[in-house]
Amino acid sequence: MDMQHAYCSACDQEVRIAVTEAPVHGGQPMVSGPEVVCLDFGAACTGAMCPMFGLPSIMMGVRLARSGLRPEAFQVVPGPCPDCGEVVELKVLNKDFVYCPACGGRSRWLHIQLDEEEFIALGKETTSRPAPQP
């Protein structure tokens, strides 16, 4: 794996990136060529797009989570994955999404704290599809 440093305008500092030898797409169809994984993905990644690679910021988080290169980079919450149904330690990508290490699914989540108790609400990430024509 090729490790490099690059300047990130969102963080206003140099970040570490890795270029994988093979895609880190889990069970999804393979794409050709290596993929870039930002090893410093985190709280500073608040924009919709990664300014370095022109990809959705959430995709950079998913790539890092799938790669397993920095497991300590993610807060984990136990819960049932809405996609596969397995109860796993979901990796928190940001305030809106978690990643399931069992199936590679990305789900919306909400953290709720009431007095001294904490709860999470999970929902499937869906894509909008046009209504069927009669």
Same structural domain, 1 and 67:
yes
Only one residue has tokens 């980079």, namely: 73
Residues 59-102 have pLDDT tens digits of 999 999 988 889 999 999 999 999 899 999 999 998 889 999 99
Same structural domain, 65 and 82:
no
pLDDT of residue 5: 93
DSSP at 18 = E
Same structural domain, 130 and 97:
yes
pLDDT bucket at 129, cuts 50 / 70 / 90: very low
pLDDT above 60 for 128: no
State which residues form the domain around 58. Answer: 1-73
Q: Which of 114, 106, 79, 108 is nearest to 95 (CA)?
A: 108
Residues 11-50 have pLDDT tens digits of 888 999 998 876 555 555 445 567 889 999 987 888 888 8
Q: Which of 80, 6, 77, 16 is nearest to 42 (CA)?
A: 16
Q: In what order do the strands lie in the sheet with 2-8?
A: 2-8, 13-19, 36-38
